[in-house]
Amino acid sequence: MLPFSKIAVLGGRGMLGTELCCQLAARGVTVTAYDLPEFDICNESQLADAVGDADAVVNCAAYTNVDGAEAQPNVAEAVNAGAMTALGELAARAHTHVIHVSTDFVFNGASDRPYNEDDDPSPLSVYGKTKLRGERAVLGADCPAAVVRVQWTFGQAGNNFITKFLERVAGGGDLLMVDDQHGAPTWTHDVSHALIELLEQQTTGLYHFAASGYTTRYSVAEHILDVLGLKRNLAPCRTADFPAAAERPLNSRFDCTKIDSILTRPRPAWKDSLTTFLEELKDNGRIPAPT
């Protein structure tokens, strides 16, 4: 049973926010989605209204254009860090519970093992640095707060690695996929379940959440083709073969032992969740037709 009757979801029409709002509404909670264009998280007056009208706030909003952040560091800083400082201060004054969603990009990916919550962050990109400052601002505020780092998320709303790959598949021709980035594709459906459990328990602190098991981007692409019964020439490549403005962590694997100790619903295996997601896309007619 959720101890909160009114929950504000910032970024509530994004990929994760949309799923979370649906699951909260299904539980009978009064949930309000705040998002662009009518809501600007950097507008402190609007943010104050959102916080003041809720008993709990879940922040799914972020500047997530990883390469764009290199060219627009001030924008990324304002959304990912500055707005989180304001959120923490407002929540402290209103005694409002906060859950803030963060990212694997706070790590540099150089470790040879999965990252746990005690590992020192060392982000490679502007995006990662601003997200780290944001999570520290929330955790450092005088309000009950939890930060949940997630990775490689996919869902029905918005673009993500899975839908972009399907578009490439529909375009025909040979496919290349990086085989040196390691992590776990994680469905927003599963993330939302975990966030709601944290709300139910009024949990505070820092947590890692990802689907169970580890894989590479290349193996994810192989699984997608296999599930959909598609025949394409798929070849592995390295991240370095495709230089980008922002450097990506090659190791995004999470040690989720801490959150496993409090969740009542085990984290699903990445293959199981991805298969279910692909079947839903097929049922909804959302698999792009080959050109």
Record the tokens describing residue 284, joined without a space. Answer: 């909804």
Give the rounded distance of the alpha carbon of 114 from its chain centre. 18
User: What region, left, alpha or beta, does residue 29 occupy, with left being phi > 0 and alpha being psi -120 to 50 degrees?
Assistant: beta
Helix and strand element counts for the chain (H, E): 11, 12
- Catalytic-labelled residue, pool 34, 127, 207, 218: 127
Packing angle, helices 83-94 and 126-140, rounded to 10:
10
What are the distances in angstroms from CA 26 to CA 20, 33, 242, 254, 268?
10, 14, 43, 30, 21
Packing angle, helices 217-228 and 161-170, rounded to 10:
60
Give kind and range of the element (H or E) at residue 11.
Answer: none
* 154 in Cβ contact with 163 (< 8 Å): yes
What are the distances in angstroms from CA 28 to CA 4, 54, 284?
11, 15, 26
Active site residue 34: no
- So which residues are the catalytic ones? 127
